A and B are shown apart, each in its own frame.
Chain A
Amino acid sequence: MRNLPIVATLGSCLIALSAGAQNGTPPFPATLEKELAARASNYTEVSMDKKMLTFAGKFLSKDEDDMEAKRIIEKLDGVYVREYDFDQPGQYTAADLERIRSQFRGSEWSPMVRERSKTGQGDTDIYMKIVDGKIQGMFVLDSESKELDLVYIAGTLDPSELSKLDGNFGIPKGVGAHTAKDGGK
């Protein structure tokens, strides 16, 4: 009985964490993010939850690209991007990457692309979250010797809509279609 408050607190923390994950909170380990940012010579972190996406959507112009982006973000719950540039190789370890990948080990996540380099400094991963046959999220990890990129897109992703990203915002034609093809496998 004495431990009841501790158990209750832990329980509520777990509930809050799971609610956060459902709301599209970035699944990247926060401490690791800080460590990587400290090691990086240059880093960019963009976190946009549903609220921010809706707000930003209101300020998109009426030109074709912006309207397309508006349609795409309507179904998204969040877009989280991390880009770390390092001065020299070896600033992140295979264990660091494994810590990030471990966030996408649930039964709903399926690895679509998995490439491993011998040096461990050129790995590529694409994970898709598929629920009831629908893509509900996508995670991309792209590592090079001096660069580490992480992209997590939460929400309902339609492969045909992904292909609509082609050519928008500097996205080369074919990227969406390729991902959609992989997702359909």
Chain B
Amino acid sequence: MDEREDLERLLRQGLRPRQTPAGFTARVMARVPGTSPVPSFQKERTFWVPMMRWATVALLLGLAGGSYWQHQQKERIAGERARNQLILALRMSAATLNDVQHKVLKSTKGDSE
């Protein structure tokens, strides 16, 4: 009889309702995949924050690319202008040298005659 009573007592003790520790439900739910207790606003954040990040990166890349292209265009125009100026300078120098040559040849011819 004693043994029976002891077993009964042990069972009652073991099966008696207990208060769950604080945060137990949340911890269990968090471990269950796909059932994390995420509020709806947080779900929206998880979608929009990376989107905003990518958009910012794309915008910055676009701005940098545009600025680089503009700089290249400006440099190309300035370079073309400088090249034309150089060719003009060489042409004018050549023309002046040509004139001088003609004058010198003319005067040398005149002297020899």
Contact = CB atoms under 8 A, between A and B. Distances in A.
Interface of A: 44, 46, 48, 52-53, 55-60, 69, 73, 79-81, 83, 113, 115, 122, 124, 126, 140, 142, 149, 151, 153, 165, 168-172, 174-176, 178-179
Interface string B83-113: 1011111111111111111011001000000
B85 A142 contact: no
A179 B97 contact: yes
Contacts of A69: 86-87, 90
23 contacts: A44-B88, A46-B85, A46-B88, A48-B86, A48-B89, A59-B79, A59-B82, A60-B86, A79-B86, A122-B103, A124-B103, A140-B96, A149-B96, A149-B99, A151-B93, A151-B96, A151-B97, A153-B93, A169-B90, A169-B91, A171-B97, A171-B98, A174-B101
A166 to B, nearest CB: 9
Contact of A58 (B79, B90, B107): B79
A44 B78 CA distance: 19
B46 to A, nearest CB: 51
B8 interface: no
Contacts of B104: 113, 115, 124, 178
A151 B89 CA distance: 9
A113 B94 contact: no
Interface string B46-88: 0000000000000000000000000000001011101101111
A181 B85 CA distance: 28
Nearest to B95: A170
A21 B90 CA distance: 21
Contacts of B107: 115
A17 to B, nearest CB: 24
Contacts of B83: 56, 59-60
A79 B100 contact: no
B106 to A, nearest CB: 10
B73 to A, nearest CB: 13
B85 A140 contact: no
Nearest to B104: A113
A170 B82 contact: no
B112 to A, nearest CB: 15
A144 B22 CA distance: 106
A55 to B, nearest CB: 5
A169 B87 CA distance: 7
B87 to A, nearest CB: 6
Nearest to A69: B90
A124 B107 CA distance: 11
B90 to A, nearest CB: 5
